[in-house]
């Protein structure tokens, strides 16, 4: 996802020596002068530069003098060379920067005290460094036009009067979010950031991810409800299984801001709409914070004049726990431990899941404990353990950017796992990654896919078996991998031989030529990964679907190498942990089977 980061990693392999302001500096070959200076602790002002984005060289504040080079080159776009001599604060450099800054500020509305970027604004920081004062740029003001503030979006505001046209929001929307909802439009004094047709942002194709806000150096783009935090805590987004890392800004116990964690290998600082703006429920006045006990008389809800009276009443924790414990004890005594079932949650931590399963087993005395993996990815656990001996994803999110081909089946990735969706989108748009999408619906990724297989719901096994049939029939499988690393090839070949593309066309509704083309494309990739979601697991044949995915990967040798692998996209943020901790009826923690007498004895003794 983060091409800049990977470029920097590659660059650092070779060192280049240069001199900046008389200091000997070493930088990786291919680094820019700006990067070399920053690494050496030398400040060069910038406004359009952003380490997450490609160098742009538009604001011209980072100009420097380089001996032997004409003019004042922008340090953010000039690569270092051996023996280069750079001066960052000559008279000519500072004169140029001041003039540039005055022109920028002359077009900026300076109501700093009420701006919610105040004290945290890069424009202020550069102005302070350049010693700009009011008098300098007042003479450049051409009467200030006032643009209407775009308040169409429920989560953020666009006040283009504070925009300095650095283009960071536009580039973030294109390069990071991969959406392209905004661009630089019009000319001269009218130049501004606009949506297609200059409509309010809510009427555009904006996906509300907030990347533009996160990269804006001024108060032009700001979250609506953000307040200055007094402290930050690092945590994981509570929504999907991508597991983005983020910082919550707090005031007392109230969440007042959110920012992505740049050091996270998962999201590299990026967030989607849910992770960035979806925290208002925490402090919502209607959120239940105390136990509620149902008012009942002789087991029935109480009615007054035919209407339900207050169905619930608030209770203390002691009263509620006492009631629950005594009722559970009574039910257990009357109907036995197995009459009770306990539901855990894939949104719990590992520790909580461990406790829930232990409560069910050691306190209640039943294996009736489960959580939402029953519906979403229990089939993955069973299918993957049968295929690989392990119930988890075999690769990491960074592998998707290294794959030559991604095959997505049963997953609307850009909607359900947006940060992974971005990696896919960027790979296809700029990295040359081939994409096969198998989905009965037209989803966003199917629009950019090389092949979209619109198979009938429930016909996944037939589709995948027919692809394997073609691959084996045409000798496109990885015979060496199959021979050295797998077993049961003959049985698989016999099974899939029954699934000719013609027969699969009848079952799936996908034209046979498309099945053949998809099989050839998949088998022809050097590094391919299959991403799948609940679109194939939440079926009565979910386990078979998962096994077919595993078979296709093993048949083509796409396991155990960078850029390849088996990628079940989990729904909740800790569904893997809930399974690992044994919040499942058939296994103790660590997938130790409950019907194995030795395992059972071990747990009983412990």
One of 18, 194, 221, 578 touching ligand SF4 (CB under 6 A): 221
Residue nearest to ligand SF4 (CB): 275
Q: Does 59 bind ligand SF4 (CB under 6 A)?
A: no
Structure tokens at 433: 């990654």
Min dist. Cβ of residue 35 to ligand SF4 (A):
21
Q: Does 536 bind ligand SF4 (CB under 6 A)?
A: no
Contact 454, 504 (CB under 8 A): no
Q: Residue 498: helix, strand or coil by DSSP?
A: coil
Contact 192, 88 (CB under 8 A): no
Q: Does 178 bind ligand SF4 (CB under 6 A)?
A: no
Q: Which listed range, 13-21, 138-146, 177-185, 360-368, lies at the site for ligand SF4 (CB under 6 A)?
A: 177-185
CA distance 237 to 574: 10
Token pair 């990628």 is at which residue? 567
Which residue, 365, 416, 452, 433, is CA-closest to 537? 416
Nearer to ligand SF4, 239 or 588 (CB): 239
Min dist. Cβ of residue 224 to ligand SF4 (A):
13
Contact 155, 189 (CB under 8 A): no
Burial 194-205 (b: 16+ CB within 10 A, else e): bbeeeeebeebe
Cα torsion angle, 78, 84, 88, 90, sign:
negative
Min dist. Cβ of residue 185 to ligand SF4 (A):
11
Contact 221, 213 (CB under 8 A): yes
Q: Does 165 bind ligand SF4 (CB under 6 A)?
A: yes
Nearer to ligand SF4, 255 or 419 (CB): 419
Min dist. Cβ of residue 380 to ligand SF4 (A):
18
Q: Scanning residues 417 to 476, which ones bind ligand SF4 (CB under 6 A)?
A: 417-419
CA distance 70 to 259: 41
CA distance 391 to 400: 19
Q: Does 561 bind ligand SF4 (CB under 6 A)?
A: no
Contact 545, 461 (CB under 8 A): yes
Neighbours of 395 (CB within 10 A): 21
Min dist. Cβ of residue 276 to ligand SF4 (A):
7
One of 100, 208, 548, 556 touching ligand SF4 (CB under 6 A): 208
One of 122, 211, 370, 580 touching ligand SF4 (CB under 6 A): 211
CA distance 305 to 307: 6
Q: Does 206 bind ligand SF4 (CB under 6 A)?
A: yes
Q: Scanning residues 229 to 258, which ones bind ligand SF4 (CB under 6 A)?
A: 237, 239-240, 242-244
CA distance 261 to 267: 7
Nearer to ligand SF4, 62 or 462 (CB): 62
Nearer to ligand SF4, 100 or 469 (CB): 100
Nearer to ligand SF4, 239 or 481 (CB): 239
One of 20, 36, 271, 409 touching ligand SF4 (CB under 6 A): 271
Q: Residue 443: helix, strand or coil by DSSP?
A: coil
Per CB under 6 A, residues contacting ligand SF4 are: 163-169, 172-173, 177, 179, 181-182, 193, 206-212, 216-218, 220-221, 237, 239-240, 242-244, 267, 271-272, 274-275, 417-419
């Amino acid at each position: 996802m983060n091409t800049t980061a990977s470029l920097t990693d590659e660059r650092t392999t070779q060192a280049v020596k240069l001199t900046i302001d008389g200091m000997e500096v070493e930088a990786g070959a291919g680094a820019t002068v700006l990067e070399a200076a920053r690494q050496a602790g030398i400040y060069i002002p910038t406004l359009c530069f952003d380490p997450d984005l490609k160098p742009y060289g538009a604001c011209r504040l980072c100009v420097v003098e380089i001996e032997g080079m004409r003019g004042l080159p922008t340090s953010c776009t000039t690569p270092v060379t051996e023996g280069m001599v750079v001066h960052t604060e000559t008279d000519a450099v500072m004169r140029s920067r001041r003039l540039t800054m005055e022109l920028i500020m002359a077009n900026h509305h300076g109501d700093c005290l009420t701006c919610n970027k105040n004290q945290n604004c890069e424009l202020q920081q550069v102005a302070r460094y350049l010693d700009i004062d009011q008098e300098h740029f007042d003479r450049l003001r051409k009467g200030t036009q006032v643009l209407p503030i775009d308040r169409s979006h429920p989560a953020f505001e666009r006040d283009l009067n504070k925009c300095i046209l650095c283009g960071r929001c536009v580039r973030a929307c294109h390069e990071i979010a991969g959406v392209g909802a905004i661009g630089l439009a019009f000319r001269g004094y009218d130049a501004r950031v606009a949506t297609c047709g200059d409509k309010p942002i809510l009427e555009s194709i904006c996906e509300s991810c907030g990347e533009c806000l996160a990269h804006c150096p001024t108060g032009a783009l700001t979250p609506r409800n953000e307040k200055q935090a007094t402290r930050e805590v690092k945590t994981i987004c509570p929504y999907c299984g991508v597991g983005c890392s983020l910082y919550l800004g707090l005031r007392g116990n109230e969440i007042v801001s959110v920012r992505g964690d740049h050091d996270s290998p998962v999201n590299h600082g990026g967030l989607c709409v849910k992770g960035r703006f979806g925290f208002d429920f925490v402090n919502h006045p209607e959120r239940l914070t105390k136990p509620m006990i149902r008012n009942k008389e002789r087991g029935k809800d109480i009615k007054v004049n035919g209407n339900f009276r207050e169905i619930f009443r608030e209770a203390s924790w002691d009263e509620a726990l006492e009631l629950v414990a005594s009722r559970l004890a009574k039910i257990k005594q009357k109907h036995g431990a197995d009459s009770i079932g306990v539901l855990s949650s894939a949104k719990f931590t590992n520790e909580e899941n461990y406790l829930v399963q232990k409560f069910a087993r050691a306190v209640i005395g039943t294996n009736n404990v489960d959580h939402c993996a029953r519906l979403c990815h229990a089939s993955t656990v069973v299918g993957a353990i049968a295929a690989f001996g392990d119930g988890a994803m075999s690769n990491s999110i960074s592998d998707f950017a290294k794959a030559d081909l991604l095959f997505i089946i049963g997953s609307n990735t850009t909607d359900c796992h947006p940060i992974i969706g971005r990696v896919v989108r960027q790979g296809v748009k700029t990295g040359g990654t081939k994409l096969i999408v198998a989905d009965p619906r037209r989803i966003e990724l199917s629009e950019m896919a090389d092949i979209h297989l619109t198979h009938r719901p429930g016909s996944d096994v037939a589709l995948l078996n027919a692809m394997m049939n073609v691959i084996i029939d045409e000798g496109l499988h990885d015979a060496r991998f199959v021979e050295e690393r797998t077993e049961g090839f003959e049985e698989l070949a016999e099974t899939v031989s029954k699934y000719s593309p013609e027969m699969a066309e009848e079952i799936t509704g996908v034209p046979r030529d498309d099945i053949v083309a998809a099989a050839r494309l998949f088998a022809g990739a050097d590094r391919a990964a299959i991403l799948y979601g609940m679109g194939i697991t939440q079926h009565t044949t979910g386990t078979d679907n998962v096994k077919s995915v595993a078979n296709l990967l093993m048949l083509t040798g796409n396991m155990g190498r960078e850029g390849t692998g088996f990628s079940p996209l989990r729904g909740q943020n800790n569904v893997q942990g809930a399974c690992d901790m044994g919040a499942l009826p058939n296994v103790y923690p660590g997938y130790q089977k409950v019907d194995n007498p030795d395992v059972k004895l071990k747990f009983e003794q412990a």
